[in-house]
Amino acid sequence: MRHATGIVRRVDHLGRLMLPFELREQFEIGPHAELEIYVDGDDIVLERHQPRCVFCGRQEELTEFMGKTVCAECAGEIGRLVIGSSTDGAAQEPPGGSLWRTAVHEAGHAVATYKLGMQISYATIRRAGISAGRVELWDAPLVFSLDDRAMVTTQLEWMLAGMEAEKLVLRSYTPLGAYQDVCNAAQLISEAYSGDEIESVIAHCRSHIASQLRIHEAAVRTLAEELIRKATVRGKRAKEIIDAAFWLPRQGKR
């Protein structure tokens, strides 16, 4: 319902219109606030921007892929379509809830980072926007040739490690937690391999990184527990935790 404010503003020569201070204060519109512009018949409507899925418009359980916001349900569909990965096994949240799942996912990436000969700057489960967590690589190549199949395989295995860690520790993975990695992997492999190679390459990469994580499941669990306690773990500390979990059980068997 319309309410007259009695305020009139003139559009300047650049097409800009300043919102009155009273309205900005009333609706808590601060500097750099994002407003969406709609047209309703002859009316121009301003509305506070709310992230929503670009496919279905849903505003819950959102994540981001290549600058696009997508919900968990559509993420699952993307996962099935782009590489035929099944999300039918997605289960109820584990004890500890989604935070524990995120910690396991990021710990899987961190452990895989070292197993694949790279290093991390930090691992975190602190939410940033709609991203639940991340592992920031220290020395990952930003540009590499798609003809370098070894490097492509390394990147693919790293992308799939979080999902495989969830499956290992929690016996399932969620579309919301895994789909960004799946989509990134699908994009990379589609650029590097021909259609008839994709399925076998994905199967090989998933099998290899899954076997490595099974060997070092203790490291995944220990680092995930540290992430729950600290939220963010720096690379040096992560390496210490992973090394200890790698070697202590083996030393005990000698």
| Amino acid 61: pLDDT | 77
Residues pairing with 137 in the sheet: 120
| Amino acid 50: pLDDT | 76
What are the phi and psi torsion angles at 47 (to 5°)? Answer: -140, 140
Structure tokens at 140: 């990952």
- The Cβ-side half-sphere exposure at 197, using a 13 Å CA radius, reads 11
* Nearest Cα to Cα of residue 118 among 134, 145, 133, 138: 138
Contact 136, 238 (CB under 8 A): no
DSSP state of 128: B
| Amino acid 1: pLDDT | 66
* Nearest Cα to Cα of residue 121 among 243, 234, 226: 234
Query: Is the entire prediction scored with pTM above 0.85?
Result: no
Does the 76-253 domain belong in CATH 1.20.58.760?
Answer: yes
| Amino acid 23: pLDDT | 87
| Amino acid 28: pLDDT | 86
| Residues of the chain by 3-state class (helix, strand, coil), percent to 5 | 50, 15, 35
| Amino acid 206: pLDDT | 85
Can you tell me the distance from the alpha carbon of 71 to that of 73, in angstroms, rounded to the nearest whole number? 6
Which distant-in-sequence residues (6+ apart) come within 8 Å of 74 by Cβ?
53, 55, 56, 58
Can you tell me the distance from the alpha carbon of 186 to that of 81, in angstroms, rounded to the nearest whole number? 10
Q: What is the pLDDT along the chain (254 residues), one digit of tens a residue?
A: 677 788 888 999 989 988 888 888 888 888 888 888 888 888 888 888 778 887 778 888 777 655 567 777 776 665 555 444 444 444 445 555 678 988 999 999 999 998 888 888 889 988 755 455 677 776 554 445 667 788 888 888 998 899 889 989 988 776 555 666 766 776 777 677 776 777 788 888 889 999 999 999 999 999 999 999 999 999 999 999 998 886 654 443 43
* Nearest Cα to Cα of residue 106 among 253, 251, 235, 250: 235
The residue type at 139? D
* Nearest Cα to Cα of residue 195 among 72, 39, 83, 48: 83
